[in-house]
Chains A and B, each alone.
Chain A
């Protein structure tokens, strides 16, 4: 049987936006989502470990991370809406079947997230007589493991989307009367584990940069000189570990599991070859900056690290999009489907997007002013 037999018909409504527009917002949205998502993905486990075993500075780090974590999670979940929305517009023939085949796991994401998120609150509000309660400590563990597991489920769906060859196997293994039970997972796909863990590696590096950023800029008056020294060193160590994980998993992914057609395509596209190379080495640039502040966090170095980390995430998002397109174009050139652009809603959206940024910007200037005046700057 031909894998393309399982791909559903094209929507008669036509795509509401040009493909480049969909791709642009999908990638942009994913970058914006990755920043906060990375911090809880790799940061919550630090909270759990240090809350249980840390002392002094590491305990302080757990405390500081958990204080902003609820806000980071709320933002990150909302920022995840846009890439998912544009995935459903541009890649619906792939997204829905993959979701249905793993429906139980996919729906469980929602339940797990509710527990994981409340767990974060239980941890940050669970202080009795100046100490964390047992329940709070356990909650931190539950949350951090839950978040890592949710990452695994996301990798499942997004790798299965492009792994059309395996659909029929999962379908025949897990269907009743031709309907999917939704009990499948994409575990037969060799790219699954490296993809999941590669993201964990990137998340470690983002979290490391965030730790330096937090020590440098957020609630500075709560921190001591010693803490900032310690944070610089710890962020460097954690970043180094993250780079290792990223490099190891990235190599496994690209050289061990990526299909030959995609690799061939890469070799034939000098631009993408270059972008891939940059994607691979960019964490190294951040690492050099982190190395420079390993004795203590410093303002300029932190800003440089944050900007460069944004570049790392952007390159990652672009490379991922390219691979996804290459894998999916084999089955359907989704970029060439009929388009019926909805101009006026599109323009209204763009205007609101800009206006929304302005409103958020206004509120942020107000709180920055408060922070400054309270710090006596």
Chain B
């Protein structure tokens, strides 16, 4: 409402965030866990003076850099780009609260980049203790950057006792932060060990002895991390807000996914234990790929759920999914949604000057006098600014299918009682006229009930395509 809404046909703009965030997390977690594992293993290899392990770790470091410094870093910036486009008000708010958190993060990013390149380019040229120290500098700064960003994403799901007067620390130390840090630390080590398996299974095909050694050592990291993920996840679940727990309980898909994460973690744990830990040499490329995919699935669904259960908020109890501040809702309901939005009002003023009062506000009585095609167009604006962040018209969570076969009363009831229909929708933030216009627009989109069913409502005069609605309205005039 403060900003223009970005319309991404069939998909919705916020789903772009989910898409980029998911692919980013596979690499960024590896960037953290891989740093820790590499530093630990390199230190160990120097201590026992194991040349062949060092050689392998060196080739792995190049792979690591090519993936994390390029793809990880740019997709990370990409998330930032996308949240600014798809949720500008939430991003504005988060940046006001956490600007120095992000600024600190930037300091650690720079240290990460410098240390990663030095670690790689000066391999074998720096004294072993200096080289290992550089590795640890990388590991520590990468880990701190994980902690910082996790505090921010945790805040989105639970603001705890934060109020605007309290500033960043109170926002950062919300009830979600520590459990999420634990779970993510585990996920990062888990992914790191799986990446190393994957890489080693191909790179060390012809060096069975070295491969066994690496497998055996890495499996310890992997098993510890699977335990961390489980502990962090359970703690997280105990601490989430009631609404998030209800969302999990209510949505069977989310339930299945949660179970899947634990299942996948457990499977990985046992596979690591009975596989490389007890029987080194057992790992072949096929199994490595399987492990890897399981790890990716567990991490991906974990992040997906974390994002999903936040609804209807982008920042819990502060910014709603439709990009309004919770504190603004009463005023919008009183004076009108279109009237309260900067861009919606500008749009109305430009398209329909005749419905504007002399002091520049929308005259809602005149809105109902517009021809039906125009009323539908106004309904479309309401849909874009109030619903399109979660629903497309046709496509992802498409309103055409969600209201398939519905009659006018049903649509109108849901529109005016969004949060009652589903607590993960925001409340209706407009006035009655707007609700009527939006209802009309949704009816013009909704699919008729599939024909041929015994209890089908086909033929119910309340339903119909765009042309039906227009024709009916014109007749009534």
Contacts and interface: CB of A to CB of B under 8 A. Distances in A.
A118 B71 CA distance: 9
Interface string B89-109: 001110111011111101111
Given A1-B349, A367-B126, A78 B109 contact: yes
Q: Which applies to chain A's interface (DSSP): helix, strand, loop or mixed?
A: helix
B411 interface: no
B450 to A, nearest CB: 28
Interface residues of A, number: 75
A107 B143 CA distance: 28
Interface in B101-137: 101-104, 106-111, 113-115, 117-118, 122, 125-126, 130, 134, 137
A180 B7 contact: yes
Given A177-B380, A360-B110, A117 B4 contact: no
Contacts of A13: 93, 96-97, 164
Interface stretch (A92-100, A239-247, A287-295): A92-100
A364 B130 CA distance: 12
Contact of A96 (B84, B168, B380): B84
Contacts of B221: none
Interface string A108-125: 011001100110010000
25 contacts: A1-B349, A12-B327, A13-B97, A75-B110, A75-B114, A79-B110, A97-B3, A99-B84, A103-B6, A107-B81, A107-B85, A175-B4, A176-B384, A177-B7, A177-B383, A178-B380, A178-B384, A182-B7, A346-B100, A352-B108, A356-B107, A363-B118, A363-B137, A366-B126, A370-B122
Nearest to A176: B7
B179 interface: no
Interface of A: 1, 5-9, 11-17, 25, 70-71, 74-75, 77-79, 81-82, 84-86, 88-89, 92, 95-97, 99-101, 103, 106-107, 109-110, 113-114, 117-118, 121, 168, 171-172, 175-182, 340, 342, 344-346, 348-349, 352-353, 355-356, 359-360, 363-364, 366-367, 370, 374
Given A179-B384, A340-B167, 9 more contacts: A1-B346, A8-B342, A13-B93, A114-B74, A114-B75, A179-B6, A179-B388, A180-B4, A344-B167
Contacts, number: 230
User: Of residues A17, A117, A176, A177, which shows the largest number of chain B Cβ atoms within 10 Å of its Cβ?
Assistant: A177
Nearest to B93: A13
A306 B165 CA distance: 46
Interface residues of B, number: 77
Contacts of B350: 1, 168, 172
| Top 9 closest pairs, chain A to chain B, by CB | A177-B380, A8-B2, A345-B100, A179-B7, A178-B381, A179-B384, A96-B88, A110-B78, A356-B107
A74 B106 contact: no
Given A88-B91, A177-B7, A177-B384, A348 B100 contact: yes
A99 B8 CA distance: 14
B260 interface: no
A103 B343 contact: no
A363 B109 CA distance: 15
B414 to A, nearest CB: 20
Contact of A106 (B81, B106, B110, B343): B81
Given A16-B99, A363-B114, A178 B106 contact: no
B350 to A, nearest CB: 6
A74 to B, nearest CB: 5
A180 B110 contact: no
Given A11-B93, A12-B164, A342-B167, A74 B117 contact: yes
Contacts of A346: 100
Contacts of A107: 16, 78, 81-82, 85
